[in-house]
């Protein structure tokens, strides 16, 4: 087997054989195939695609590059959730303890933010003492004793994906749907969860800008999970407007705690409950009521135990940025648009995100929203507050927010997009 023939096969729109796929993934993981050669293959896949059998074999080869976890020792069924990423997407934080409070075990392997989308681990690390890196034994212990764990994937889980993802990020091949699907699903299948709910974001602040691409990605991932024996469901959800009223690490933790306390923004609560119902149904738990678990405090109890089990102090004050700048409404009327991508870029430029995986983030940086589309605003009223420790970043962030919202005359009719746009099973 040689890498040039593998590249030429896909370059010429051929179908890669199972043997070619197994060999090239293994050889790349071992360093036999060079980065520039795998870059050429990734670009050929982006341009010419893969069929279902190729994607399934590619995913299986990435799983085989590392270890597989097993949760058979747990007394309750497992259910996991994965989001393709968005702005203000703090849903994992209230969702994991909520589903655990309803009877499932939630082994949530999460990632860090890159670019305009936030990362769950970055958000939780704004809690004093909380740690993302757990051994497999520690992860299983936290899961067994609290019902939920949110942590980083270990180095032994799908190492081929870790290496390939970094390469795709710098070679313009991130958008390849076969590679997105296999990247996500190789980690989730290797993780060993019994069921999986996918939150595939659609809109300006999402990776998938239109519903057709999102539906294709969701269908591909559902098929991969199903073929591997994992009950998999996908919800397509709106990401044209930021979720909730915050984008930024500590800001989003604070809002998540409000949801767990029975409050919080309506859209965050709605999506959290919708995903919880899907996860519980997939895990075979039919009689639980997630809304009740939010209202009676049981989800909050799990949250506190989960944070403490990973070294965090749920009662500690969260970081607050040293500087703030308020953006006000230039006129009165109805806010009809608030672009998620622009808000995400603004938060990133303030220090909430990173351009490279090695970059630090500011725990208190981000954007706080004071109005959402459909609401009446008055000239001079605060629309958003920018938070950062480095005030020289304000102008850079404000530039990204120019043209990010529309205000129509008072009385203008407005219809919001539904949160859940479609369901694929």
Catalytic positions: 82, 161, 168, 183, 187
Strands of the sheet with 420-424, listed across from one edge? 80-83, 195-202, 231-238, 420-424
DSSP string spanning 245-311? TEEEHHHHHHHHHHHHTT-S-HHHHHHHHHHHHHHHHHTT--S--HHHHHHTSHHHHHHHHHHHHTT
Q: What is the separation of C-alpha 111 from the centre of its chain, rounded to a whole number of angstroms?
A: 8
User: What is the C-alpha separation between 292 and 146, in angstroms, rounded?
Assistant: 19
- Give the pair of three-digit tokens for residue 105: 């075990």
Nearest Cα to Cα of residue 102 among 90, 94, 112: 94
Report CA-CA distances (Å) from 322 to 285, 351, 365.
45, 12, 9
Contact status, residue 356 vs residue 113, Cβ threshold 8 Å: no
Phi-psi group of 379: left, alpha or beta (phi > 0 → left; psi -120 to 50 → alpha; rest → beta): beta
DSSP H or E run through 104: none
Report CA-CA distances (Å) from 412 to 373, 375, 378.
12, 11, 14
Strands 405-408 and 333-338: antiparallel
| Contacts for 214 with CB less than 8 Å, ≥ 6 apart | 200, 201, 202, 206, 208, 236
At residue 191's C-alpha, the angle toward residues 242 and 312, to 5°, is 60
DSSP string spanning 393-411? GHHHHHHHHTT-EEEEPTT
Contact status, residue 250 vs residue 216, Cβ threshold 8 Å: no
DSSP string spanning 62-86? HHHTS-----TTSSS-B-EEEE---
At residue 249, φ and ψ (nearest 5 deg) are -70, -70
Burial of 70 (0-12, 13-18, 19+ CB in 10 A): exposed
């Amino acid at each position: 087997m040689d890498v040039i023939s593998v590249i030429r096969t896909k370059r010429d729109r051929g179908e890669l054989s199972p043997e070619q796929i197994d060999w090239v993934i293994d050889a790349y993981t071992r360093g036999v195939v060079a980065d520039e050669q795998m870059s050429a293959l990734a670009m050929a896949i982006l341009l010419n695609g893969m069929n279902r059998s190729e994607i399934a074999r590619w995913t299986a080869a990435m799983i085989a590059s590392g270890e597989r976890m097993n949760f058979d020792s747990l007394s309750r069924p497992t259910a996991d959730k994965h989001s393709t990423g968005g702005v203000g997407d703090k849903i994992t934080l209230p969702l994991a303890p909520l589903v655990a409070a309803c009877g499932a075990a939630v082994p949530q392997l999460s990632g860090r933010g890159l670019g305009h989308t936030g990362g769950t681990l970055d958000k939780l690390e704004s809690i004093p003492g909380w740690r993302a890196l757990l051994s497999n034994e520690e992860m299983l212990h936290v899961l067994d004793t609290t019902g939920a764990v949110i942590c980083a994937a270990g180095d032994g889980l799908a190492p081929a994906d870790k290496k390939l993802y970094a390469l795709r990020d710098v070679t313009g091949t991130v958008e390849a749907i076969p590679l997105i699907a296999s990247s996500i699903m190789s980690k989730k299948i290797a993780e060993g969860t019994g069921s999986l709910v996918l939150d595939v974001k659609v809109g300006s602040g999402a990776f998938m800008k239109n519903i057709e691409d999102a539906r294709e990605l969701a269908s591909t991932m559902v098929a991969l999970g199903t073929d591997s024996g994992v009950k998999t469901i996908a919800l397509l959800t709106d990401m044209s407007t930021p979720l909730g009223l915050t984008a930024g690490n500590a800001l989003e933790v604070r809002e998540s705690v409000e949801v767990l306390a029975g409050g919080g923004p309506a859209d965050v609560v709605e999506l959290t409950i919708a995903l919880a119902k899907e996860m519980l149904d997939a895990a075979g738990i039919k009689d639980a009521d997630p809304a009740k678990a939010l209202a009676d405090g049981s989800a909050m109890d799990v949250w506190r135990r989960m944070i403490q089990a990973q070294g965090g102090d749920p009662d500690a004050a969260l970081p607050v940025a040293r500087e703030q700048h308020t953006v006000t409404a230039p006129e009165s009327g109805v806010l009809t648009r608030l672009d998620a991508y622009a808000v995400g870029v603004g938060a990133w430029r303030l220090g909430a995100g990173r351009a490279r995986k090695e970059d630090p983030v500011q725990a208190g940086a981000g954007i706080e929203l004071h109005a959402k589309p459909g609401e009446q605003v008055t000239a001079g009223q605060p629309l958003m507050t920018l938070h950062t420790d480095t005030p020289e970043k304000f102008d850079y962030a404000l530039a990204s927010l120019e043209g990010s919202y529309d205000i129509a005359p008072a009385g203008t009719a407005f219809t919001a997009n539904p949160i859940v746009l479609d369901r694929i099973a």
